[in-house]
């Protein structure tokens, strides 16, 4: 979630505001990982010393009684960074017709997740102050509810059609292995997910970025850091660069350069180990 908060009146040129928000998003998508987000939040004003997951659990416990899943939280952040699938929120005192028009186009055309919030400021004679936010704009597809499974499948199929050929080759290869090793294939709006039959995250393929994400955090949560580190080392050898320790992703081209070797050394051992750890 990326929030742009304007304390004064609305900017005379809403295009600059939108460009600034998109610049924030592209910077996070191309230059940041989970650890980077955590460090930035810890150094904020006010900052904090605990982990980002602990901080999130502390605040969410005030509004949600359900148990907090730190692994799921970290996975969600990593997936959002990897896919660039952010929710943009523009907060200001007022939003004019031009702002609403630009936001409507971005939300209904390119289907950018964009919300507009207007905030009123009240102050009592006794000196009490209060901010009262209200939703000024939301996309029609958000107001209508979450996309159905059929819609997700159609959206993902369109993204695969526009993806690089090597991404489609990787998808086809993974589909075969999923059937062979008993994995479920689930399509979301931006990912094809390969999950053990017993549940849990494993592989996530993003056709837009052309990257395959490997879930190593489940191994670490189960106390098997050795197994996770072994897969991380193989991923680093294939990609030629360091990878995050929990939710690394690698480009399809690197994986398909020698698919037979990639299957033997990485993908098949990973599927077997992840299936065993999910039982």
Q: Where are any strands of DSSP class E within 87-157?
A: 88-92, 114-123, 129-137
Domains of the chain: 2-143 (no CATH), 149-277 (3.90.1150)
pLDDT (0 to 100) of residue 8:
56
pTM, full prediction = 0.54
- Cα(189)–Cα(149) distance, integer angstroms: 9
Q: Please report where in the chains the tokens 């996070």 appear, as a residue.
A: 28
Q: How do the pLDDT tens digits run along the chain, 279 residues long? A: 677 766 655 555 677 878 888 888 888 876 777 888 888 888 887 788 898 988 888 888 777 667 888 887 887 888 788 777 788 888 887 788 888 888 888 888 877 888 888 888 888 888 888 878 888 888 776 655 555 555 666 778 888 999 999 999 999 999 999 999 999 888 887 889 998 887 778 999 999 999 999 999 889 888 899 999 999 999 999 999 999 988 999 999 999 999 999 999 999 999 999 998 864
Q: What is the pLDDT of residue 231?
A: 97
Q: Which of 21, 13, 23, 6 is nearest to 99 (CA)?
A: 13
With tokens 């998808």, the residue in question is 171
């Amino acid at each position: 979630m990326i929030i742009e908060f304007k304390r004064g009146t609305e900017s005379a040129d809403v295009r600059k505001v939108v460009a600034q928000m998109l610049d924030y998003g592209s910077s996070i998508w191309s230059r940041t990982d989970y650890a980077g987000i955590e460090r930035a939040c810890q150094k904020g004003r006010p900052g904090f010393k605990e982990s980002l997951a602990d901080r999130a659990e502390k605040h969410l416990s005030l509004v949600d009684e359900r148990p907090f899943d730190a692994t799921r939280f970290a996975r969600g952040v990593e997936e959002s960074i990897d896919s660039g699938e952010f929710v943009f929120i523009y907060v200001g005192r007022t939003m004019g017709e031009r702002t609403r028009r630009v936001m409507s186009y971005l939300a209904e055309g390119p289907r950018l997740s964009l919300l507009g919030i207007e905030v009123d400021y009240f102050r009592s004679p006794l000196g009490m102050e209060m901010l009262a936010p209200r939703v000024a704009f939301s996309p029609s597809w958000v107001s209508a509810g979450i996309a159905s499974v059929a819609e997700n499948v159609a959206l993902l199929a369109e993204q695969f059609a526009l993806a690089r050929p090597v991404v489609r080759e990787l998808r086809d290869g993974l589909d075969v292995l999923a059937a062979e090793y008993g994995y479920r294939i689930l399509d979301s709006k931006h990912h094809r997910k390969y999950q053990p039959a017993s549940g849990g995250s494993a592989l996530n393929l993003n056709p837009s970025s052309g990257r395959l994400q490997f879930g190593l955090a489940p191994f670490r949560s189960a106390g098997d850091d050795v197994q996770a580190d072994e897969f991380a080392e193989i991923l680093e050898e294939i990609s030629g660069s360091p990878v995050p320790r929990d939710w690394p992703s690698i480009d399809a081209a690197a994986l398909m350069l020698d698919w037979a070797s990639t299957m033997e050394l990485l993908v098949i051992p990973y599927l077997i180990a992840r299936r065993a750890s999910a039982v």
